[in-house]
Each structure stands twice: as C-alpha cells, then as structure tokens.
Structure 1
C-alpha cells in the first residue's frame, strides 16, 4: 500500500514517525506536551505559506494582520466601527479560503460554481453592500464635522495604549472606556473641554496606531482618522514609560502623513510620566525640550494642559464687532457658541456685540447675521 506523500513543510517539521527531527525522546514516565492550537507570526505571510504551516503543525496559523483584525473585531461597538472592521476582515479572509475535500459543483442558482467560487462571490457581494453602508455612515459623519468646522477642535492621537482615553476622560469629564489593552478605543469620541469656555473647545479621542497597521484597516478607518485631519490642534500622546516610545511616535507621525495631516499644528505629550524615574525625565526633557511631561492621573498636570490648549487658541483669536438685527435674535446662541462675547449694546439696528473669536468664525457669523 502506498504511503501518502507528506508536504515539504511537514517533512521539515517531523520525521517519519511523526516526531520532531533530532528532538530528544521523552522518558517513558515524562508528561507529553499538548500540541499548540495557534501559531502566530509577527509579520505578514501569504495564504500559501499559512496552508503549508497548518499542514505541518496541525495548528491554526495567524499572521500579524490576522491578529490585529481579530482584535479590532472584538472591540468594535458602534455601527461604523463594525462595518469598517468587517470590510477589513473579509478582505483578509477571501484569499485564504480553500476548497473543502469532496466538494463539488453547485446545483440550481449559481450552478457550475464550486463551493469555493460561491463563497468568494458571496464575500464580493457582502463587501459591495458594506461599502454602500459605510459611504452612508461617512456622509453623516462629514455633515457632523462640517457643522463643527468653526469650533475649536483638538484631537488626541498616538500609539495604541498610550493613555489617550485616560487623558480624554480627565480633560472632558466624559465616561469614555479606559482599559489597559490594545485598541480599547475604535470609535471616535468628541466631547467639550471642561470646564467649558466660550467659544467651547471640542476634544476628540481617536483610534490608536500600531506599527505595520494593515493598509485595509487604514483605508477603512480613514473617516475616523479624518477627525485628526480636520482638527485645529493635534496632541501626540506618547507613553513615556515605554522603552520603544521613539519608534511608536514615528509610527503615529507616518500614519498621519499618509492621510495628509502632517501640516496640522501639534504638541508632543509624554504621558504616564509618574512611571518614569527622575533621570529618565531629565533625559526626555533634554531630548524633547518643547514636549509636555504629564500624567493623566494628576489633576494639576491636566489643569496645566487645559491652560496650554486655551492659550493656543487664544493666540489665534481676534476682537471684532457684530450687529445682531432685531429680526434675527434667534441667532444669538450661535454667536455665543462660536465666540466670546465681551460686551453688548443696543441701537436702532439691533444688538451691538463686541466679540472675540477665530477670524473664520467671525466672518461666517457676519454673513449669517447680514440683512438681505
């Protein structure tokens, strides 16, 4: 009877008795080690390589992209994040499908297709459906961002698990998820800086970055990353206690360059400074003299950061005068939302208001308040 031919990968992994070559044979009473369920690679491998490795090891094989996609899948909560992740997941799975043993051709609708061809067609149809849904969601998001275009906007960006959500909670008092794990935040959260000021400042907590982030995920989350592109100020949050902080910072900057956000004004924040020794603090300060060293757990540090944010926007503001006609008094809240009202007076034309705000916001208000 012919012996089934083993793959080259299995031949390299095992000898003819199903044991690793040159491996020391266990003693009769020694405990047999269980076989691994997963084999994980910290880089991308081709579908063919994955199949060969699965045949050789008898375990499920995942590469770096597969692990990241699976983490994203588990942490997606909003409709937008779920759609984005499913698109990336299907693109990852499709080329890795394979024909099941004994499968044949379909009968009836789709007759002539193999099971594999049918599965791939279903994936293509599902991807088309998901992309339509994502386009609708992104249009709604574009409208929301357009409505905030004249507001002061800060975006927290940085490597995953750098403490962005902790800082978001401290700055805004919001109950955003804070967890010591990768990609705890996939949905962009927008909240007002607390205590509120006029005009108010909006803070966005964005999805964390990671080195070699799969391109399909970057593309899927482009609308989420648009919060960074459209912000007035980017705060690069870095985990000061991580020895690899420099490479993580470069990853964050490269992703933002990819979406065209490298020209947005930014400040560098070294978070978790309470976990850093005095000597390492001094080294950080010497190397990054303009950076802000803080801990999101320190109320004093957070208060100081808030003042820094306000000072950044104050420097760009100008004083001007607006006239609110009596026939348009319903727009008063719009003026208070986008400017700081310094004084008010009245004459025959309406309410005379001395305001301080960003030039673009004042220009837009003047057009809105003008009498036809």
Structure 2
C-alpha cells in the first residue's frame, strides 16, 4: 500500500466517524473547488424507498371473491423534493386514504428523493423502471402519482411501467364524481373534469384522423371527404361547447343560491360557515350543533353539497350554519373554480368555524392548506375561530400546542359532545349583535313586526297596553326603518 493510499484510508475513516459529512469535501476528504450548496444524500437519491403500512389489500382468504371485485389494485408513488421525510410520508398516506375512498386496493407505496421532479418521466428513467418491477411483483394494474403530472410526464411514465398512470388531481376528481348528488354538484364536478381533460386529449395515429378530401387526402376519392378537422379537434370543440353550457347552468343555479343568501341578509340573519380539511368532522359538528341529520362517514369528501341549517343562541338570536365541501392539500384548481359559487357561502359568512382534526399527524399543515383555498375565494377576510375537533382522540400536547398558536381557538369532540356548550357560547359572543335602541308601540294587528323583533332583534322589555304592545329593543338598521312609523 502506497503512502497516498494510507492517507486516503485515514481520511475516509476520520470522515466516517463524523456525524455529518462536510459538503465542502468529497468522500476522500479533499476540498471541492466548486461547492454549490447543500446536496441530497447519495443514498437517498439512489433509493426508491418503500413506505410501510399503506397496503389495504384484504388478507382473509374467505374474502377473495370480494377482492376481485375491487376497481383497481394500485401502487402509490411520490417524489420527495422538499420538507421532511415525515411530511412526504404523510402526503403518501393521505393519497392512500384517497385511493381507498375511490374504491381501490392499495398494494404498496414508494418514495423517490430528488431535488426536483424529472421533466421526462417524473421519477427519472431508472426509478421508473424500478417502479415497473414493483408493479409486476405486486400484480398492480394502476400507478397513482402524488402530484399533478404534466400530460407528457404521464404518457412517458405509462410507456415505462406498462399500466395505467393517474395523478392526484384525477383521483380527487373521481372521488368528487362518485359523491356528487345534487344537480349543481354534478354540474360542478363535470366542469372540473372537463377542464382537467381538455389539455390531456391524446391521439393514436391515423385512427384519430378525420381529415379527407380527394387524392391529396390519401387517394380515397369520392365519399371520403370530411370536415377537415382531426378527431382530437372535434373532441376539443365538443368539450368546449359542453363546458360553456355547464358554466351557464351553474350561473343560473348560483342566482337561486344568491337569492336565498340575499333574503337572509335583508333580514339580517347572521351566518356561520363550517369549513375545514376533509374528514375533519365538519358534518358531525353541524349535526351536534343543530341536529341536522347530515350524512356522516369516515371517508374523504363525504360531503359535497352544502347544507344550510337554522339555529339560535341561548338568548334567542337566530343564525344559520352552513356545512361546506372539505379541502385537501393541493386541491385541484379546477375544483376551486367549479365550486366557487358553493365556497362563496364561506366568504359571505359573518363567522367561519375552521374545523381541524386534532388527531391528524400534521394539523398545522391542514390549517395552512385550508387557509390557502379560502384566500382564493375571499374567505380570509371573515372572522375565524379554529375548532380543534376529535379532542377525545388527539394527544393533549398537540391540542395545547394548537390552542397556544391560534389566538381564537377551542377544543371540542363532536363525537362525545365535549366542549360543544363552550363552542355555542363562543359563537353567540362572536356573532354581530343588534345595536340600535328603539321604543315602539305596535298595534295588535302588527304581530308580524313583533315576531320579527323577537327573531331579528334583542327585545329588552314588552308591555301590553290598550292601543298595542310597547316594546323596548335593540335592532339592526333595516328593521329600524320598518319600525319608524311606530316609534314613541
């Protein structure tokens, strides 16, 4: 062994004993002249790491017939470019829950560490081939990518793995299509799906061609002359026409929703919107507060159609509670646009109850994702109360951390009812109150105005006299103008 070999060996041993490899030196311990910042660990870049605990495949052999009826057997794939490994795994676990909600069987999940996704195959050519090996060994028929793929990336990845590839956006759109029940909800989902599909139309050679005309078009002669556009162009035109029709229908439905909302505003009925991450317990909370009987399921996006219910405070003030569609990290922008009229229930509210799943591994991430979407529809301008739900399942230190970091917050459990009384009191305190004092003498034949005083105002005292009912109350400006003729 030469002296240089001894030097290299001693430097390598010294570096192996260090906790962190200094990025300014190579593996041999020699200084690098062109250091360009932190680099990803070589082992991370070279490995396609399995994420354990994602499989939802049934193990009981007696269920084998049921297993064969499942729509897809899928492998999940993610690229970890930023954040921690825990963040990347949480995102993949959420994708697993989404896939299971859509009716798929999750067989495996893999993560690839890269500084940025590959512009060609997203994972990189070598890792795409490794993914192909995982698909073959697991017997999968679909790969789901934990991002929105460019059309070229999806096609390139499909060409390597030889099975269907869909992305996170397509998966969420599929779930919405399954869960939409109302006419408006179905129209909104179809519009979002068509917006997603339009740039992803794909043709396969001559079979897609509709161009024809004489010998120049292939020598087919008479009877072969076509409209002069390819099938893709024809499909694109039809999709654009359908999207225009759907936008018109949704605008008409929005008019009906706006009319109802305007009626509540005219009568100054305060409104409270329940918003939050999907499966955070919004519908359960609405049922607990109002007894609405809204569908509650332990799955993502169980609620798509907004539900508005009437409630009142302990002192008799009436207000409305609206349950809205749940949000998710990287919610497809097509859905935000399509559901804009529905999400306006939040931006027009007097108070937003932002429900957070306290038992989730990353509740702060949920809060950020919801606020990002609310900002797109103007909901960030509304007074917000953070409601940490599932307090019976969450760790106490997590609840304490959230209550400390959020100024207006409260912990509840919609399942057990813990904290619901305090939440009712908090809502009553945050709602706008009538602040104009009036004293009126209402004739006995104007019972309608007396009823509105009780519903919309704050009645301080009533006294029955010979000419009518004398009332001291606090009211809103609109009701004050209607009572002007009876002021004493």
Work out the CA distance in 2 between the residues paired with 1:65 and 1:76.
16
Equivalence map 1:111-126=2 (5 Å): 111-126=227-242
CA positional deviation for 1:36: 2.5
TM-score by length of structure 2 reads 0.65
> Match of 1:85?
189
Equivalence map 1:124-139=2 (5 Å): 124-139=240-255
Conserved in 1, the CA contact under 8 Å of 2:143 and 2:165?
yes
Provide structure 2 residue ranges, at least 5 long, that are not aligned to the other structure.
Answer: 1-119, 212-222
Distance 1:289 1:118, change over 3 A: closer
Equivalence map 1:102-113=2 (5 Å): 102-105=207-210, 111-113=227-229
> Match of 1:366?
480
Conserved in 1, the CA contact under 8 Å of 2:132 and 2:161?
no
Does residue 180 in structure 1 map to residue 298 in structure 2?
yes
TM-score by length of structure 1 reads 0.83
Conserved in 2, the CA contact under 8 Å of 1:154 and 1:203?
yes
CA RMSD of aligned residues (A): 3.2
Conserved in 2, the CA contact under 8 Å of 1:191 and 1:204?
yes
Conserved in 2, the CA contact under 8 Å of 1:44 and 1:64?
yes
CA positional deviation for 1:228: 1.0
**3-state SS of 1:307 partner:** helix
> Match of 2:275?
157
> Match of 2:356?
238
**3-state SS of 1:353 partner:** strand
- Comparing 288-297 with 181-190, greater Cα deviation is found at 288-297
Does residue 305 in structure 1 map to residue 423 in structure 2?
yes
**3-state SS of 1:193 partner:** strand
Distance 1:110 1:241, change over 3 A: farther
Provide structure 1 residue ranges, at least 5 long, that are not aligned to the other structure.
Answer: 1-7, 25-31
Which of residues 58, 62, 73 is equivalent to 2:162?
Answer: 58
Distance 1:356 1:45, change over 3 A: same
Q: Which has the higher contact order (CA 8 A, sep 6+)?
A: 1
Work out the CA distance in 2 between the residues paired with 1:78 and 1:235.
24
Equivalence map 1:19-58=2 (5 Å): 33=137, 35-58=139-162
CA positional deviation for 1:336: 3.1
Distance 1:223 1:197, change over 3 A: farther
Which of residues 385, 388, 392 is equivalent to 1:274?
Answer: 392
Work out the CA distance in 1 between the residues paired with 2:291 and 2:131.
60
CA positional deviation for 1:346: 6.0
Question: What per-residue deviation string (whole Å, max 9, x for no partner) do you get for residues 85-106 of structure 1?
Answer: 1101001111111224523317
